[in-house]
């Protein structure tokens, strides 16, 4: 299906990056970025132009060939992988950033993919996502024709439970991206970070003290100005 859809001289989703990505890419640490279901390459090429080392994965070889041509047009290089996301290994602790824009797949695959995103991000790595919600069916301005392939804020909170959300909202906005996304749309947007350290707060019975206990190490990172990097929470002086 996607090879047929992309088999045209035009870039059906345009050559410009997704606007949510363009507004927020700078929070991704400079390094390696993975673009999921990248299609014709508009987001991957944009990130490469900003100095990132970019890998684009998609099931359409026709789309990826167009992505390579777009990269050549802008004088940058992207690494393209022709693979189905159901079988693609994202790796572990590998990416400084992962981006997912309108990557609509069946729920079971999406849940597995998002679990793998959590494992694949480096500590401090950023996950950026925008997708249509089920309300998009009322607009008919792009996206899949069935609600089962859509996303929601509640679903992302569960599927990306290992990440910390800096931003997660459902909203309506104008989505103007080529001929296949054009008009008012209902979307969910997410910015999530893989915390430098995982921690939990515990209390001592019979005591008013609370301690911050690290349950995983982020590899030695420490910030003297960050209260989460301190071994204990100071008691209140009321």
Q: Which of 104-108, 133-137, 211-215 comes out lowest in average pLDDT?
A: 211-215
Query: Percent of the chain, pLDDT > 70?
Result: 82
- The beta strands (E) that lie in the chain are given as 32-36, 53-58, 79-82, 95-101, 121-132, 164-177, 181-193, 198-203, 210-216
Contact 211, 139 (CB under 8 A): no
179 within 8 A of 12, measured Cβ to Cβ = yes
pLDDT digit string (tens) for 46-62? 999 999 999 999 999 99
Closest CA to 151 of 106, 99, 84: 106
CA 44, CA 97: separation in Å to the nearest integer? 12
Q: Please state the rounded mean pLDDT for residues 149-154.
A: 98
**Residue 181 — very low, low, confident or very high, per pLDDT cuts 50/70/90?**
confident
DSSP class of 25 = G
Per-residue pLDDT band at 197 (split at 50, 70, 90) = low
The CATH number of the domain covering residues in 2-193: 3.40.50.150
Cα distances from 194 to residues 28, 97, 111, 172, 175, in angstroms, run 11, 10, 17, 27, 28
Hey, where are the domains in the chain?
2-193, 198-229
CA–CA separation, 202 and 199 (whole Å)? 10
pLDDT band at 228 (very low <50, low <70, confident <90, very high): very low
């Amino acid at each position: 299906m996607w090879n047929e859809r992309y088999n045209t001289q035009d870039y059906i989703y345009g050559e410009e990056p997704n606007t949510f990505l363009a507004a927020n890419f700078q929070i991704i640490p400079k390094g390696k970025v993975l673009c999921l279901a990248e299609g014709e390459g508009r987001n991957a090429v944009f990130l490469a132009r900003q100095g990132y080392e970019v890998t684009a994965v998609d099931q359409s070889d026709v789309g990826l060939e167009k992505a390579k041509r777009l990269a050549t047009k802008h004088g940058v290089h992207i690494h393209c992988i022709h693979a189905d996301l159901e079988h693609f290994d994202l790796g572990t602790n590998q990416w400084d950033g992962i981006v997912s824009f309108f990557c609509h797949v069946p729920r079971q695959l999406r849940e597995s993919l998002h679990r793998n995103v959590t494992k694949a991000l480096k500590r401090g790595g950023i996950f950026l996502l925008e997708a249509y919600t089920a309300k998009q069916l009322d607009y008919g301005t792009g996206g899949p024709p069935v609600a089962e392939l859509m996303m929601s804020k509640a679903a992302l909170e569960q599927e990306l439970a290992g990440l910390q959300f800096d931003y997660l909202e459902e909203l309506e906005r104008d989505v103007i991206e080529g001929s296949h996304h054009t008009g008012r749309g209902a979307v969910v947007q997410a910015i999530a970070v893989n915390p430098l350290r995982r921690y939990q707060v515990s209390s001592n019975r019979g005591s008013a003290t609370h301690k911050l206990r690290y349950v995983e190490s982020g590899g030695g990172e420490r910030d003297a100005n960050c209260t989460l990097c301190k071994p204990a929470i100071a008691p209140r002086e009321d």
